[in-house]
Amino acid sequence: MEFKLEATAPGSAARAATITTAHGEIETPVFMPVGTVASVKGVHQRELADDVKAQIILGNTYHLYLRPGTEILHRAGGLHRFMGWEKPILTDSGGFQVFSLSANRKLKEEGAWFRSHIDGSKHLFTPENVVDIERVIGADIMMALDECPPGDSDREYARKSLSLTHRWLARGWKRYCETEGLYGYRQSYFPIVQGCTFPDLRRESAKFVADLGADGNAIGGLAVGEPTEVMYEMIEVVNEILPTDRPRYLMGVGTPANILEAIDRGVDMMDCVMPTRNGRNGMIFTSEGIMNMRNRKWADDFSPLDPNGTAFVDKVYSRAYVRHLFVSDELLAMQIASIHNLAFYLWLTREARNHIKAGDFAQWKPQMMERVTRRL
């Protein structure tokens, strides 16, 4: 992986860069659509590339390990070939999914025991076998196995959790360094900063992570129940330590406002299921504000979903038509909303990049914050 820093924003920690991987370049800041089980729900790969303009998407190790399984993925030649996606892919290690199965998992020194949400079968994720699984998946960027503690964890739990995450990271890093990719290209491995909402633990973790010298670094364990302002504080604490010559990935965040605030604090990469999940429930994010498409007010509004939209759905379908589809429970409503929301998120990060490079990000951001948080 190559990381080329192109510009920094006066009066802000925001930066624009280009990441080069075996499957193409990624211009940052960037939002990454989530394709958990080798599919971004309701969105065709062609639409992801051409209309959403996605540069990189995510897969999930936990879900892909359970279904279709590593044997199928290996025989297919990796996830890129299996799902017909030629651009970069990042895989989450599955740590967050194991965390969410709190009633069906046990954390031990060897790794995380859990029961499948599909059939109840018992499995073990270790730092080593997660690297092996991600090698089979073939993602350009692989994430380290970590424990993601709840946002309201007390200090004692956060301390023990962080120590376990660091021990697991040391083992996973060793396995990564001892192995190679299976499909003829190099894969990168990102360690994850944890430490809950305690600044000293976050600093300790950021130092531990930075000292590995990995191709890039991630910030995990945020947007899991802590107040938004605390999340922003933790990003600032961590980014004071993480190296400036490597990409920084904020995991699982978030709203358009969250994304702008993260970029302002020096984050390069973000992902979240919100644009597709909320879209399927009728929430549309636009450059002018947020719309609930089931509201009666859109019934005779024949204007486009977003006048600044770049996806074909913004040019073809009116607000009235999309509302009609939602109240009629048509599947097309969810598809249109998903494509639009993803395209808007990618538009937002491209606009941020443009203003960083133009030198006026600090002036542009407050205006855009007011617009994207408005309820229409």
Catalytic residue ranges: 92, 271
CA pair distance 217, 344, nearest whole angstrom: 26
From residue 197, alpha-carbon distances to 162, 210, 287 in Å are 12, 19, 32
Cβ atoms within 10 Å, residue 36? 16
What is the Cα–Cα distance from 305 to 143, expressed in whole angstroms?
36
Rounded to an integer, what distance in angstroms lies between the CA atom of residue 44 and that of residue 335? 9
Cβ(258)–Cβ(234) below 8 Å: no
Number of helices (H), then strands (E), belonging to the chain: the values are: 15, 17
- Decide if 106 contacts 122 (C-beta within 8 A): no
Q: At what angle do helices 127-137 and 155-178 cross, to 10 degrees?
A: 50
Do 102 and 29 form a contact (C-beta atoms < 8 A)?
no
